[in-house]
């Protein structure tokens, strides 16, 4: 088939690779001039288990006290009615998930596990040298954190993730750089948890997709997706370009393309920030990934750098809320004092998580003829990208699904 993909973030690149590997003639359109320039640029880096990423799901690790002076979620001044409706749906889902893992949560964990297996397989098969590290430690600073993590622990075990409950001394042996003065009630240790450099992987896989014939057309903005016949209208061109199928991987900017097709997904942009700083003293830095449940932050070792991610701001604002950046600096200093240098080479980045209220992506046929969706991966797009792309390619080829796909069907929002 002749297939157009809109978007060359991590989701569009992995989709391009899988479709090209299946023998399709793939063209990728992106308004930017390189892959992973938008919201896949400097993500937190966490791969599976995706639900261990704060904000990935309503419930488990997204704090229950989200509003208030010290809470990590911030509401912008320009909240729209759809932001408010999203917030209501998300809070309802969080209240339900506080006591038992919800189907979307379990499905997300399964998809992340499947995705990680596919990513490792691709990395090995294609010899992709991307920065990554293994092992994830979820810090339980207090009994309250342990209580908040209990449904997640149950879900991790139900989905076959090796997870150990460890005491503070063991946690410090796993991550020797953790500050000795950090109050710690214990931790959850996932020895198979993984972190990696999303942008680097996207650039390497883009090259692999190109070798299979995928054509990346940079600087092309898609104005409209057409259904009669199927195709895309590129800004500045006289008529739509025809394709057999169009796959939308447009992340947080998908709404203007979805609306004219009659698709009204409740997608919200939840903004967050990352701070990447060069190592100062490796012994005082994380060896792999540490998730701080108390602040909703993740700290990952990416080669010679440490990256901390956090914050969740709903509603359009130009800049990160000062509270978000202050929290990132504070938590990094509290957990790994002396691990990084802030004097040179530091990078601050802000991006959007395109989220649906249940935290799961919209993946599969859209309902509009010839149009497929692979978007709305929220806080775990990097963790889910390789698996989502593989499943979508399977659906297009009408192969029997390797995982049940109901939890991600775009039609669940009709």
Q: In the bound complex, what is the minimum distance in angstroms from residue 282's beta carbon to ligand FAD?
A: 21
Task: Output 102 or 298, the one with its CB closest to ligand FAD.
Answer: 298
Confirm or reject binding of residue 309 to ligand FAD (CB under 6 A): yes
Confirm or reject binding of residue 31 to ligand FAD (CB under 6 A): yes
Task: Output 59 or 351, the one with its CB closest to ligand FAD.
Answer: 351
Confirm or reject binding of residue 381 to ligand FAD (CB under 6 A): yes
Candidate list 27, 38, 102, 133; residue touching ligand FAD; CB under 6 A:
38
Q: In the bound complex, what is the minimum distance in angstroms from residue 180's beta carbon to ligand FAD?
A: 27
Q: In the bound complex, what is the minimum distance in angstroms from residue 378's beta carbon to ligand FAD?
A: 6
Candidate list 177, 351, 364, 370; residue touching ligand FAD; CB under 6 A:
351
Task: Output 53 or 128, the one with its CB closest to ligand FAD.
Answer: 53
Confirm or reject binding of residue 116 to ligand FAD (CB under 6 A): no
Confirm or reject binding of residue 295 to ligand FAD (CB under 6 A): no
Q: In the bound complex, what is the minimum distance in angstroms from residue 333's beta carbon to ligand FAD?
A: 19
Q: In the bound complex, what is the minimum distance in angstroms from residue 221's beta carbon to ligand FAD?
A: 4
Give residues 247-276 in contact with ligand FAD (rule: CB under 6 A). Answer: 249-253, 257, 272-274
Q: In the bound complex, what is the minimum distance in angstroms from residue 143's beta carbon to ligand FAD?
A: 26
Give residues 204-223 in contact with ligand FAD (rule: CB under 6 A). Answer: 221-222
Candidate list 4, 5, 8, 285; residue touching ligand FAD; CB under 6 A:
8
From residue 148, alpha-carbon distances to 132, 137, 251 in Å are 28, 15, 29
Binding mask 221-240 for ligand FAD (x = CB under 6 A): xx------------------
- Residue 211: count other Cβ atoms within 10 Å of its Cβ: 11
Query: Which residues contact ligand FAD by CB under 6 A?
Result: 6-12, 29-32, 36-40, 43-46, 53, 221-222, 249-253, 257, 272-274, 298, 309, 351-353, 375, 377-383
């Amino acid at each position: 088939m002749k297939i157009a993909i809109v978007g060359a973030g991590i989701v569009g690149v992995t989709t391009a690779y899988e479709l090209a590997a299946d023998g399709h003639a793939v063209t990728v359109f992106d308004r930017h001039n390189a892959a992973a320039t938008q919201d896949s640029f400097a993500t937190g880096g966490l791969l599976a288990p995706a639900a261990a990423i704060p904000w990935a799901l309503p419930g488990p690790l997204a704090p229950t006290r989200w509003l208030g002076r010290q809470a990590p979620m911030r509401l912008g001044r320009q909240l729209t009615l759809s932001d408010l409706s999203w917030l209501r749906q998300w809070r309802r889902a969080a209240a339900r998930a506080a006591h038992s893992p919800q189907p979307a949560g379990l499905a997300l964990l399964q998809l992340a596990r499947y995705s990680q297996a596919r990513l490792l397989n691709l990395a090995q098969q294609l010899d992709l040298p991307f920065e990554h590290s293994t092992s994830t430690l979820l810090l339980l600073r207090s009994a309250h954190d342990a209580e908040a993590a209990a449904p997640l622990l149950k879900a991790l075990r139900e989905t076959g993730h090796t997870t150990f409950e460890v005491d503070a001394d063991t946690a410090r042996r796993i991550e020797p750089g953790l500050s000795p003065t950090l109050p710690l009630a214990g931790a959850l240790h996932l020895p198979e948890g993984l972190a990696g450099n999303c942008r680097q992987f996207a650039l390497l896989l883009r090259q692999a997709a190109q070798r299979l014939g995928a054509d990346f057309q940079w600087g092309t903005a898609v104005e409209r997706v057409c259904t009669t016949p199927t195709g895309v209208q590129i800004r500045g061109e006289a008529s739509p370009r025809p394709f057999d199928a169009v796959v939308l991987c447009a992340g947080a900017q998908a709404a203007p393309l979805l609306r004219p097709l009659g698709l009204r997904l409740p997608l919200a942009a939840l903004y967050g920030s990352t701070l990447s700083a060069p190592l100062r003293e490796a012994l005082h830095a994380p060896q792999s990934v540490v998730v701080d449940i108390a602040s909703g932050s993740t700290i990952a070792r990416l080669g010679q750098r440490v990256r901390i991610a956090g914050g969740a701001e709903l509603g359009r604002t130009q800049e990160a809320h000062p509270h978000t950046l202050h929290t990132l600096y504070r938590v990094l200093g509290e957990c790994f004092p002396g691990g990084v240098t802030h004097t040179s080479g530091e990078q601050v980045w802000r991006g959007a998580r395109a989220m649906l209220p249940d935290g799961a992506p919209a993946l599969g046929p859209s309902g509009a003829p010839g149009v497929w969706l692979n978007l709305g991966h929220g806080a775990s797009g990097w963790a889910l990208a390789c698996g989502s792309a593989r499943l979508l390619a399977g659906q297009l080829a009408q192969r029997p699904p390797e995982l049940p796909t109901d939890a991600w069907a775009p039609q669940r929002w009709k």
